[in-house]
A and B are shown apart, each in its own frame.
Chain A
Amino acid sequence: MATISIRDVRKSYGKTEVIHGVSLDVADGEFIVIVGPSGCGKSTLLRMVAGLERITAGTMEIGGRVVNDLEPRERDIAMVFQNYALYPHMSVFDNMAYGLKIAGKTKDEIRQRVDQAAAMLQLEPYLDRKPRALSGGQRQRVAMGRALVRNPAVFLFDEPLSNLDAKLRVQMRLEIKQMQRSVGTTALYVTHDQVEAMTLADRLVVMNAGIAEQIDTPMAVYERPATRFVAGFIGSPAMNILKGSVSGSDFVLEGGGKLALDTKPAETGRPLLFGVRPEHLQIATAKEATLNLSVTAVETLGADTLAHGTLSGANGAGGELIARLPGSAKVAPGDTLPLTVQENMTHLFDAETGKRV
């Protein structure tokens, strides 16, 4: 168990910098999820914590010890890989025991620790099997068991659920969370799946293009996205973003049309982005409606109905919008939907920097 402190860490391959200075403090026992699109540097960051990639600049501390130049084995970490990386010629038991064997533990202690981890992960019947005789979910458990028996300071997960089918992924997600809770070990978890990110994390790190755009609790990231990128990345369907500027207490859309704002921003006239999540739009009566949606397509998901359309009055310029309505809503393409925005559920971003206003 340990804290992790990452201070302005950078990574360059030759002259190309891929991580542009990330800082992060992880408390003891915390579960941190690093999420972002492919190529954003999230895996590289994790591998730098593991010691599999060298750190170009900045400092990395695990448990108060600077580990910049330490080999992975000296860092007291355990890692779970996306493709499990089990040793194919070793039995499940040997796979889990390998690290302990190298660490020079006694046979009795190895046996006891492996048995304990196997019991926790329900792997007892499979200890003598080779990895190829296991299903994907079982292999994933062995990979977790291998991390667990080491009793490390930090768990590192590199997209561990990507190779599993959807149902198993949901189940393993819960198991990982429970396992981490019960042993109380600090964990860093990399994923591109925002559902995994939201459900697992104590705190989220949303990364984009080598920068940590926002580090906060999942709900805070959802409710108050720090940048336009975070707003678009977290939440499904993505947040509606409309171009325009503030005039008085209204937001004037680029193509015409007005939206009332809850709070009046200090400055007016500057180009801004107006964001509202599809689930924060409600059907209203024609009188109350603050915006009217000309529906162009409808997706019925059962519990919800998604209405795609353009804002009438926006003259079709950048006024595309999605509204998430209750499953019972009767909507058809061609309809005009009167909508209101839920109170305090609007976001404004700077059009140039993407920062929250």
Chain B
Amino acid sequence: MVEKQGFGTILMHAVLIIGIAIVCFPIYLTFVGSTLTHFEIIRPPMPLVPGPHFIDNYSEALTAGITAPVGRMLLNSFVMAMGIAIGKIAISILSAYAIVYFRFPFRMFAFWAIFMTLMLPVEVRIVPTYEVVASLGMLNSYTGLILPLIASATATFLFRQFFMTVPDELVEAARVDGAGPLRFFKDILLPLSVTNIAALFVILFIYGWNQFLWPLLITTKPEMNTIVMGLKQMMPTADDYGNWPVTMAAATLAVLPPVAVVIFMQRLFVKGLVETEK
């Protein structure tokens, strides 16, 4: 690494600080907005220091909200994001295991079929998927929110690539030790995959949390709304002037769970990176 001195150091730090400021300022402004009253916000100039209405605004957002209580929507989003993340990991690790370690007819076909689904994101198959979910009576349910989104070619690939780096001798040693396929998966492969699972979990949780179009289509009852679509609905439209402090509070709350997941899992992720050795 090149060691910079004097002016170089100052310049580097300046660039970094400006970058961070550009990213953080809107978030800070959202937080400030969530502690003011509606009139303080819409009357320019908007104050840049937090006001005294933090508790009022947040308790209103959590319990009442505008269309539905934010607490309820946060729970819906959390269930959906967890469901998608865990479901995707469970399904893709098992399919990658099958593809890498077993010889069965049409193995390569299965592999390519999974590969092809990469070309079909939710938006492309949304109409037929909606049809299926509606016919199965899963509208306005957690199952309906989660199930169509948990097939994942990307995660399957990541696990496949990782499994291919596991030395064959390890598989053979386990066979000689008497471990059957399930035992090998549970005792050897799963513990070795912890880092990959942690990394994928972070990515997939945020993917699930940020889903907008799919929940918008299949949830019609306000109490099944997710926070991301809820936020959109809280935005003032046309001649409505909205309730900005509560909307800002909801936005701040909506950011917290993904941030928590990133911070918590990153530790595990880094720890795993340092500890694992093949």
Binding site for B on A (CB under 8 A): 50-52, 71-73, 77-79, 81-89, 98-99, 102-103, 132, 146, 150
Contacts and interface: CB of A to CB of B under 8 A. Distances in A.
Contact of A85 (B172, B187, B276): B172
Contacts of A77: 176
Contact of B176 (A50, A89, A132): A50
Contacts of A72: 172, 175-176, 178
A318 B153 CA distance: 64
B278 to A, nearest CB: 6
A80 to B, nearest CB: 9
A151 to B, nearest CB: 13
Interface in B170-215: 170, 172-179, 183, 187-188, 191-192
B178 A81 contact: no
Main SS at interface, chain B: helix
Q: Interface on chain A toward B: helix, strand, loop, or mixed SS? A: loop
Nearest to B187: A98
Contacts of B179: 73, 98, 102
Contacts of A79: 172-173, 176
Interface string B261-278: 000000000000000111
Contacts of B277: 88, 132
B19 interface: no
Contact of A83 (B167, B176, B177, B178): B167
Given A85-B170, A132-B277, A52 B175 contact: yes
A71 B175 contact: yes
Contact of A103 (B178, B187, B188, B191): B178
Contacts of A146: 173, 177
B192 A83 contact: no
A103 B176 CA distance: 11
B172 A98 contact: no
A103 B192 CA distance: 23
A51 B173 CA distance: 12
B169 A102 contact: no
Given A98-B187, A102-B183, A132-B277, A87 B178 contact: no
Q: Which residue, of B175, B178, B187, has the highest number of chain A Cβ atoms within 10 A?
A: B178
B201 to A, nearest CB: 18
B172 A52 contact: yes
Contacts of B170: 85, 87
Nearest to B276: A88
A203 B191 CA distance: 42
Nearest to B188: A87
A180 B278 CA distance: 29
Given A81-B169, A85-B169, A102-B183, A73 B191 contact: no
Interface centre among A73, A84, A89, A132 (most CB of B within 10 A): A89
A150 B177 CA distance: 9
A51 B170 CA distance: 15
Contacts of B172: 50, 52, 72, 79, 81, 85
Given A83-B167, A88-B276, 19 more contacts: A50-B176, A72-B172, A72-B175, A73-B176, A77-B176, A78-B176, A79-B172, A81-B169, A82-B169, A85-B167, A85-B170, A86-B173, A87-B174, A87-B187, A87-B188, A88-B192, A98-B177, A103-B178, A132-B277
Contacts of B167: 83, 85
B181 to A, nearest CB: 11
B106 to A, nearest CB: 20
A99 B177 contact: yes
